[in-house]
Amino acid sequence: MTLQTAVVGHPISHSLSPLLHNAIYKHEGVDADMHAYDEEDIAAFTEKMRALPIHLAAVTLPHKQSVMQYVDEIDARASDIGAVNTLLNTDGVLRGYNTDIVGIEAALKGVQVSGKDVLLLGAGGAAYPVAYYLKFKGAHVFYHNRTKEKAEEMRSRFGGVVEDDLSSISPGRFSLIVNATSVGLKLSDPLPIREELITKDTTVLDLIYTETPLLKHTSAKGARAISGLSMFVAQGLEQERLWLDREIRDYGYTALLQDALQKQSI
């Protein structure tokens, strides 16, 4: 019998998770199928997950924090991060993990962050594992978010500084800028910061996996631009490693997703 897995979020229509995970199942010879569930009510989804059953669920926006109250157990690292993006179902017992942290590590491989000033934009579920990683690596983190209170919450959890007003910050001040907001999902979106903050020595990681205006601008300055695609693939491979309990490598999945993204944008 084909085993069911899921990606759950709201909205979910543009998710690349089914494409990635179903390609993994095919390559690994696993008889499983991932469906996308567009759910506003994450509590109802967890009940469905137990009942069907759904064996693995990738949890995405806006449920990464709210889902934590509906699972039976939370992995220690996910609990420290304060967000869950993966659920495993063992005979009706749901356990939550965070694999975004593995994705961030992969995306920032070779980027020096220890002792550096890093600007983190956004304070939703996507920003939490970034802050956790940066703290772990010894960066000086500056939080900036439209809703200041949410940036304050992150500061009290992970340490660092809330930078409410970026207008007086000098160009090149931050060696790394991470965009964890949803600004850039639409090609017509503005940059989430003023462009002078990026110089040729700045590295910019955008958690969005398309080529956002921010990434285009960064490349145009001759600076290093990292899209969220490498992060997305790495966190997805880690989800399957957790479920299937074996190492899962990237057998051309990044290229497959790049192709799909290109077709979407035509």
Stretch of 45-53, 74-82, 100-108, 175-183 contacting ligand ATR, by CB under 6 A? 175-183
Cβ at position 93, least distance to ligand ATR in Å: 25
Tell me: does residue 104 bind ligand ATR (CB under 6 A).
Answer: no
Stretch of 23-31, 125-133, 134-142, 244-252 contacting ligand ATR, by CB under 6 A? 125-133
- HEC string of the chain? CCEEEEEEECCCCCCCHHHHHHHHHHHHCCCEEEEEEECCCHHHHHHHHHHCCCCEEEECCCCCCHHHHHCCEECHHHHHHCCCCEEEEECCEEEEECCHHHHHHHHCCCCCCCCCEEEEECCCCCHHHHHHHHHHCCCEEEEECCCHHHHHHHHHHHCCEECCCCCCCCCCCCCEEEECCCCCCCCCCCCCCCHHHCCCCCEEEECCCCCCHHHHHHHHCCCEEECCHHHHHHHHHHHHHHHHCCCCCCCCHHHHHHHHHHHHHC
Q: What is the per-residue binding string for ligand ATR in 198-237, x denoting contact by CB under 6 A?
A: ----------------------------------------
Stretch of 7-15, 105-113, 118-126, 168-176 contacting ligand ATR, by CB under 6 A? 118-126
The residue at minimum Cβ distance from ligand ATR is 124
Out of 48, 64, 186, 221, the active site residue is 64
Q: Closer CB to ligand ATR, residue 33 or residue 189?
A: 189
Tell me: does residue 119 bind ligand ATR (CB under 6 A).
Answer: no
The residue within the footprint of ligand ATR, chosen from 14, 26, 27, 146 (CB under 6 A), is 146
Cβ at position 102, least distance to ligand ATR in Å: 17
Annotated catalytic sites, by residue? 64
Binding region for ligand ATR (CB under 6 A): 61-62, 64, 122-127, 145-147, 150, 180-183
